[in-house]
């Protein structure tokens, strides 16, 4: 089978039902894949764009937790494929198709949808997480899977051994056969010849459909299983099936300025989310969103261009080392090393530094914000200072151990009651 035929015979499943509780209040009203990121996108846009750019055009997004915002985003911005060419992006909500349980884990989410999967007669299934930020050509991984005649191929990335306890860690032989797999080990195996690096699973898998069906049916009957790919199925396959590692460096879309640093981020914590956004304010970010050869798509709305008002001594509308999105107004204020999402207004005499300000926020006059994430639709009252006094910040808002402060409209309302 040539690569083009293989891509046409591949079904991509994006697991987008996660609660994302480590992002705290950002996921109170939306699922993790629907969280805004990078000025104009949502996290789900990255795996969706990777699929389209890789030539994978049969895509199902599996949803469950607080999915309205995500559903709306996909329906409005990702409905351009041609059904008459057998291309689609569909939303598959949890429907209790196999019993009375909602999705019990990542593997169970796929198992509960196998009736629909079978109807598509796909030879391969690509499993993706809906909450990671990266650029990857999945067709390269698919070609490896086919050439190796593998039952399952797992995408992997090198991580410092001190961070390895946050991931599923693989041990491979000289031919990239996975010979051991441990989920978040306390004493992780390292790569041969490099004791400082471990090989981490990215939560990206390619299965031969028949092999996956048989194993999911067995897993569904196992009362001791948590029905999760990383915890249960992948370790089970080691030593019993042909399970191969695919190195992300072989299929990532390179940034010429960082040729030795493949970019992949799990933005599952508030600090990781803030850092990922802050990286985009650098002169040359590790994630190149300006690469027209591999565009990241999203839902588009008609908005005016960003606007900067006033040029009077202390009242100068200025943005320095920042990303300012369409619809924003910086009115007599200073924005420094920050990201303003669509339709944000920063009013006169305010200073916003190292902040992530989500859509439709309004920062009042004479405010000072440092190291703050402001959730969508939040109105910061005039004269508010955040990021200077850790004790006061923790009393009024959510402040994590790294000093990142999260502010929502609900928190502002409680202060004003």
Q: How far apart are CA 10 and CA 40, in angstroms?
A: 29
Say whether 20 counts as a known binding-site residue. no
Q: How far apart are CA 174 and CA 188, in angstroms?
A: 18
Contact indicator for 197, 144 with CB cutoff of 8 Å: no
**The pairing of beta strand 58-63 with beta strand 10-15:** parallel
Say whether 40 counts as a known binding-site residue. no
Task: Assign 263 to helix, strand or coil.
Answer: coil
Q: How far apart are CA 8 and CA 135, in angstroms?
A: 20
How many CB atoms are located within 10 Å of the residue 124 CB? 21
CA distances from 337 to 19, 33, 174, 326, 364 (A): 29, 25, 44, 17, 19
- Size of the chain, expressed as the number of residues it contains: 417
Q: If you search the block for the tokens 């909450």, which residue do you land on? A: 131
Say whether 139 counts as a known binding-site residue. no
**The pairing of beta strand 243-247 with beta strand 264-266:** unpaired
CA 213 to chain centre: 27
Burial (CB count <10 Å: 0-12, 13-18, 19+), residue 215: buried
Say whether 292 counts as a known binding-site residue. no
Q: If you search the block for the tokens 């509960």, which residue do you land on? A: 112
Q: What is the DSSP track for 116-171? A: HHHHTT-SEEEEEESSEEE-B-HHHHHHHHHHHT-SEEEEEEEEEGGGGGGSEEEE
CA distances from 54 to 67, 138, 408 (A): 26, 6, 37
Say whether 183 counts as a known binding-site residue. yes
Q: How far apart are CA 393 and CA 243, in angstroms?
A: 49
Binding site members: 103, 168, 183-184, 201
Binding site members for alpha-D-glucose 1-phosphate: 103, 168, 183-184, 201
């Amino acid at each position: 089978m040539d690569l083009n035929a293989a891509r046409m015979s591949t079904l991509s499943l994006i697991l987008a039902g996660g609660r994302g509780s480590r992002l705290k209040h950002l996921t109170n009203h939306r699922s993790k894949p629907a969280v805004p990121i990078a000025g104009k996108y949502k996290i789900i846009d990255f795996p969706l764009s990777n699929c389209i750019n890789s030539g994978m055009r049969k895509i199902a997004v599996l949803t469950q937790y607080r999915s309205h915002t995500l559903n709306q985003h996909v329906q409005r911005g990702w409905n351009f494929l041609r059904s008459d060419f057998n291309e689609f992006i569909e939303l598959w909500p949890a429907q209790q198709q196999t019993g009375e349980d909602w999705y019990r884990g990542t593997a169970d989410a796929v198992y509960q949808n196998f009736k629909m999967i079978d109807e598509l007669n796909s030879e391969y299934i690509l499993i993706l997480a809906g909450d990671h930020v990266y650029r990857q050509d999945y067709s390269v991984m698919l070609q490896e899977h086919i050439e190796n005649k593998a039952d399952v191929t797992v995408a992997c990335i090198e991580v410092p051994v001190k961070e390895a306890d946050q991931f599923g860690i693989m041990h491979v032989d000289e031919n990239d056969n996975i010979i051991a797999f441990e989920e978040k080990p306390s004493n992780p195996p390292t790569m041969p010849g490099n004791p400082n690096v471990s090989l981490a699973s990215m939560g990206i898998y390619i299965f031969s459909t028949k092999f996956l069906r048989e194993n999911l049916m067995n897993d569904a009957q196992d009362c001791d299983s948590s029905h999760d790919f990383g915890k249960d199925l992948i370790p089970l396959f080691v030593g019993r099936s042909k399970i191969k590692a695919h190195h992300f460096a072989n299929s990532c879309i390179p940034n010429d300025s960082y040729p030795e640093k493949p970019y992949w981020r799990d933005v599952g914590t508030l600090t990781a989310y803030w850092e990922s956004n802050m990286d985009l304010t650098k002169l040359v970010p590790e994630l190149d969103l300006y690469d027209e050869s591999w565009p990241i798509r999203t839902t588009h709305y008609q908005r005016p261009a960003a606007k900067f008002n006033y040029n009077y001594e202390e009242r100068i509308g200025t943005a320095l080392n920042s990303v300012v999105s369409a619809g924003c107004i910086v009115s007599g204020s200073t924005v420094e090393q920050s990201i303003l999402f669509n339709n944000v207004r920063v009013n006169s005499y305010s200073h916003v530094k190292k902040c992530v300000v989500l859509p439709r926020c309004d920062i009042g006059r004479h405010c000072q914000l440092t190291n703050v994430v402001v959730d969508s639709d939040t109105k910061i009252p005039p004269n508010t200072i955040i990021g200077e006094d850790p004790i006061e910040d923790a009393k009024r808002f959510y402040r994590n151990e790294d000093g990142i402060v999260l502010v929502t409209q609900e928190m502002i309302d409680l202060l004003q009651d």
